Amino acid sequence: MRPVLGIESSCDETASAVLDGEGRVLAEAVLSQEREHAPYGGVVPEIAARAHLAILPDQVHRVMACAGLGFGELGGVAASAGPGLIGGLMVGSQFAKGIAIAHGLPFIAVNHLEAHALTARLPGLVEHGVAFPYLLLLLSGGHCQCVAVEGVGQHVRLGSTMDDAVGEAFDKVAKLLGLGWPGGPALERLAAGGDPRRYTFPRPLLGRPGCGFSFSGLKTAVAHEVARQGAGALSMRVAADIAASFQCAVTDVLVDRAAHAMAMMRERAPDAQLLVVAGGVAANGAIRGALADVADQHGFELIAPPVRLCTDNAIMVAWTGIERLRLGLADGLDVAPRPRWPL
């Protein structure tokens, strides 16, 4: 198979990558828009779309040049087509379609969530590769769900959040603590110096059947504690203890839900033995460590992509394009981007 170009523009990272037919990375680039959105405390969709439009053409040409390829040497062009912010999805998918039309290439509309799900199958990440089926725990700013990944395009959702995604909860608590945006990494750094047992925050749904999630009540409990302390008067010690106690509560919930999900997965596939964690929150060291322990206790092995592949990137998009092209799956140029596109 010839190389595949991947384009990612579903939120606030503009990313491009070229992988060869075996999945080896020939070139990649990721440009975060963090500086543009930081003054607003979150992603502004219109700003994100305009930034993608300004950045993407030059970025793609640089990546292709770095890979030493012309567009006519590609085997296909893959782009995130959902879920995500519709403006950014339109910019990335339309640009990819333009390349496909100009050079007579297949176009692959990639489900961003499936791209996260298939990251663990990238060559070189796991010895001998990751075979289907496996259990996916997807943890990001917009999504929190347990999924049985049974094949390319074959996914069964076992449980998901009833309210906030776990990454969203991290960002909101970070904002309460005055850490700015994006909050997840900053909160993890602050929590490292805190006492995780000082505050007893709730563990929503802990011990309940199934593997659903809820983080709204936990977030509210933290907000009440910050208000009680006096948000403007929080000492560094108190803020660190709140951050650590919040992170501990989240970790306990994720461990409990993962344990339930592994039991459910074994009922579906008795030979299943892999728990894959993906998404931005999968970069959190405390969470990764706790999930590795609970996976081992249940006879599973935790597979976690390198931190740089947990957040949004085009490598996973190009790889998903390769996986789909191998099965003869390409998309028409009339396919429309979708802000909502569940697995």
- In sign, the C-alpha dihedral spanning 139, 134, 257, 246 is negative
Q: Is residue 114 a contact partner of residue 321, using CB atoms and an 8 Å limit? A: no
Tell me what pLDDT residue 42 has.
84
Where are the chain's structural domains? 4-119+309-326, 132-304
| Below-70 pLDDT ranges, the chain | 128, 231-232
Q: Is residue 6 a contact partner of residue 19, using CB atoms and an 8 Å limit? A: yes
Domain 4-119+309-326, CATH among 3.30.420.40, 3.20.20.70, 2.120.10.90, 3.30.2320.50: 3.30.420.40
Of 280, 274, 251, 249, the C-alpha closest to 261 is 274
Residues in Cβ contact with 235 at an 8 Å cutoff, skipping those fewer than 6 apart: none
Tell me what pLDDT residue 231 has.
61
pLDDT in tens, 211-258: 999 999 999 999 999 999 876 678 999 999 999 999 999 999 999 999
Tokens of 177: 């603590």
d(CA 201, CA 218): 7
Neighbours of 249 (CB within 10 A): 23
Please indicate whether the domains covering 4-119+309-326 and 132-304 agree at the CATH topology level: yes
Tell me what pLDDT residue 124 has.
83
Tell me what pLDDT residue 19 has.
98
d(CA 307, CA 27): 18
Tell me what pLDDT residue 237 has.
95
Q: Is 104 exposed, middle or buried (0-12, 13-18, 19+ CB in 10 A)?
A: exposed
pLDDT in tens, 162-202: 999 999 999 999 999 999 878 899 999 999 999 999 999 99
Q: Is 125 helix (H, G, I), strand (E, B) or coil?
A: coil
Structural domain 132-304, CATH architecture:
2-Layer Sandwich (3.30)
Tell me what pLDDT residue 96 has.
98
Whole-model pTM? 0.94
Upper half-sphere CA count for residue 52 (Cβ side, 13 Å)? 31
Upper half-sphere CA count for residue 261 (Cβ side, 13 Å)? 34
**CA dihedral of 253, 254, 257, 259, whole degrees rounded to 10:** -120
CA distances (Å), origin 207, targets 160, 255, 257, 314: 15, 10, 8, 37
Q: Is residue 77 a contact partner of residue 48, using CB atoms and an 8 Å limit? A: no
Of 58, 49, 132, the C-alpha closest to 89 is 49
